[in-house]
Amino acid sequence: MIRAILYLVISIFLLTFIRMVVGLLMKTMREMMSSPTTPNAPPGRPPSAPVAGELKRDPVCGTFVPANSSFQKTINGSSFCFCSAACRDKYAG
């Protein structure tokens, strides 16, 4: 009887150990398969998004827009950035 209990405990221990090892291997494989293509990026982090440029505040509605893709208007030598053509046209200056 004691021998059967001992075999049962050893079997449970071995199965738990094997499950732990397989889990670690699967986690490692998953991280390797989903690693970013950038060689200097830290593991487990997605690659960073490309920078869109400096953000400017639309003086009409207050929305922040990338300067390089905004609607622009120059008044008295000062350049203003707008989120849309409608905001640009509304701006009195």
Nearest CA to 58 out of 75, 91, 82 is that of 82
Residue 12 lies inside a defined structural domain of this protein? yes
Give the pLDDT of residue 19: 96
Has residue 36 got a pLDDT over 60? Answer: no
The answer to whether 83 and 92 have CB atoms below 8 angstroms apart is: no
Has residue 28 got a pLDDT over 60? Answer: yes
Number of C-beta neighbours around residue 71 at 10 A: 17
Same domain for 62 and 32: no
Give the pLDDT of residue 10: 96
Number of domains the chain contains: 2
DSSP H helices in the chain: 2-33, 85-90
**62 is in which domain, residue-wise?**
55-90
Q: Give mean pLDDT, residues 61-85.
A: 88
Which whole-number Å values give the CA distances from 38 to 29, 34, 48, 50, 52, in the listed order? 18, 12, 10, 13, 19
Residue 50 lies inside a defined structural domain of this protein? no
Q: Give mean pLDDT, residues 61-84.
A: 88
Q: What does pTM read for this prediction?
A: 0.43
Residue 42 lies inside a defined structural domain of this protein? no
Has residue 86 got a pLDDT over 60? Answer: yes
Same domain for 31 and 60: no
